[in-house]
Structure 1
Amino acid sequence: MTTAQVAHAMAACGTPVHPDLVVAWEQGTHAPTDRQLFSLADVLWCDVVTLMGVRPRTLAERRLARQLTVERLAERIGMDAAAYRAAEAQQHWLGDAWQTRALVDALGLSLPELIGIMGREEELAGLLRAAVDGRWKAYVEPVAELAVVDATRAGDALRTMHAEFSAFAERYMGHLVGLNGDARLKEVAAERAEFLRRLVDHFWELIGEGGEAGEADGPPPYPVGWQ
C-alpha cells in the first residue's frame, strides 16, 4: 500500500489523516495517537503490538495492546479518566479492589503482573520478609492492601510462610546442638536463602489463581488499594 492508500483507508475507518503524517510515522518523527494507532492496525491487518515493535511492559503499553483508549478503559473500570491517565504517567496505581479486578480483567493481567508493572514487587518482598521473620499478624493488612488480595487469604499465606521459615531455624539449631557438622548447617542455610529468594512467588502460589481482588460485578464496601 502507498501512504496515500493507507491514509484513504484510515479515513474510511473514521480516522482521517494526511499521507505526509503516515510518512512521518514510518520515519519515526511522529507517533500516532491511540485512535490512529488502532485504525492503522486495522487497515494494515495486523495487531497493535506488531506496530508498537515492543513487548508490552508498562500499563500504557498493555492498554494499547488491547486497543483501549484511556477514556474507554477508565469507563470500564469505573475510574475518572484523568485519574487513570495520571496512574499510567506516574506508574502508581490508586484503584480500589473492584477497580483493580476490573483493570486486570480488561488488560489480561494477573495481580502479580500488575504489581511488577508498578514496580512494587520489591516492596512486597520486604513486607513478606518482615512477616516471616517476625510477628506475621502485624503484616496481614499491609500485605493485603499492597497485593490487593483478601485479608483472610493473605493471613493464611503469611501464617504458612512463617511456619515454614521457622522450621529452618529449628532444623539449624537441631544440627548445631547435635554437632552434625558444617555440611548439614550449610545445607539448611542454603535452603533458607532459596526460600527467602522465592518469597514473592511462594506468596502468590499460596494465594492461588494469581490472587483475588474481589468480584467485579459491583463496587466494594470499602476501598482497598495502593496509596
Structure 2
Amino acid sequence: MSAVRQPPALSNQPGPPFNAPAARRLRAALGMGPEHVAYDLQASYGMPYATPDLVLAWEGGELAPTSPELTALAGVLWCTPGELIGRPQTLREHRIARGLAPEDVAAALGLGLLPYLQLEEDKEWRGTDRLTAALADFLRLSLPDVITLTGKEEQLAELLRSAVTTTRRQPYVRQVCKLIPLDKRLIEHTLGELYEAYQAQLATTLSWGDFTTTNRIQKLGEDFLAQIVAHFWNTVEEKRP
C-alpha cells in the first residue's frame, strides 16, 4: 500500500470513534470496491486526496476519518454517520452520530454557538443539571449515555468493583443511589446479582493446587471486573419491570 496523505488542515481534527468493520460491511453490501468509494468522495464531496489506499486505511483501522470525512463516507455508503461510529462517549460524538450541526444543538439548548462549542471542547462536563436534562431529551440519550457523557462512568465503575468484591454492599448501594437516579431497591438487587455473578466466576471444583486453573480463575475475575459497568446496565435492564 502506498503512503496515505491527508490535507494538514483535516489531519489535525480529531474524529469520532470509527467503526471500521461497519464501514467494510456496508461497502461490501453495496458491491463497491475501495476505488468506487474513493471516486465518489472525490467527485461528490470535494475530497481530491481520497484514494483507494485511504479507504482501506480507514477500514483497516490504520487511520480514522475526521468528522467531515466520516459524514462524506456515510453519504457514499448510503448510511447515517451513526452507523459508522463506535459507541459515542462525548457530547461531540453523540452529536455527530445523530448527524446534527453544532448550531442545531446549541439552539435546542438555548445557548450561543461559542458557549456550546466550549462544552464540546471541555475535557470535563460543566453543564448544569438543567442543561444535562435538556441535552438528554434533545439527543434522546439513555441513562448510561448520560452517565458516560457527564464523566461519571469511572466513578460508577470503582463503586461497582468495590461492591461486588465485598459482602458489605450497603454503603455502596447508597453511593450508587447518589450517583444514578434509580430506585434504591433496584440498585440493591442489581449489586446482589453482580456479587453472585462475580463469585461464580471465581468458583471451581478443580484442585486448588492446579496453577493453571488458579490463573484462569483469576483472569475470569479480572475480565468480569473490567466489564463491570456493562454488566451493571445489562442487569438493571433485566430487572426493570
TM-score normalised over the length of structure 1: 0.50
Determine if contact 2:173/2:184 at 8 Å carries over to the other structure. yes
Counterpart of 2:174 in 1: which secondary structure? Answer: helix
What are the within-5 Å matches in structure 2 for residues 103-114 of structure 1?
Answer: 103-114=135-146
Q: Give 1:192's aligned residue.
A: 221
Counterpart of 1:109 in 2: which secondary structure? Answer: coil
Query: Aligned residues, how many?
Result: 160
Deviation at 1:102, TM superposition (A): 4.9
| 2:159 counterpart of 1:127 | yes
The amino acid across from 1:128 in the alignment is L
Q: Give 2:18's aligned residue.
A: none
Give the alignment partner of residue 151 of structure 1, picking from 174, 181, 184.
184
**Greater RCO, CA 8 A, separation 6+:** 1
CA–CA distance in structure 1, aligned partners of residues 95 and 199 of structure 2 = 42
Change (3 A) 1:103 1:117: same
Runs of 4+ with deviation above 6 angstroms: 81-86
Q: Give 1:165's aligned residue.
A: 198
Q: Give 2:108's aligned residue.
A: 73
Deviation at 1:59, TM superposition (A): 1.5
Change (3 A) 1:62 1:193: closer
Q: Which ranges of structure 2 fall in alignment gaps of 5 or more residues?
A: 1-8, 10-44, 46-65, 71-84
Root mean square deviation, CA, Å: 4.3
Q: Give 1:3's aligned residue.
A: none
Deviation at 1:128, TM superposition (A): 0.9
Change (3 A) 1:196 1:62: closer
CA–CA distance in structure 1, aligned partners of residues 155 and 182 of structure 2 = 15
TM-score normalised over the length of structure 2: 0.48
Identity of aligned residues (%): 29
Change (3 A) 1:101 1:154: farther
Determine if contact 2:190/2:236 at 8 Å carries over to the other structure. yes
CA–CA distance in structure 2, aligned partners of residues 85 and 140 of structure 1 = 36
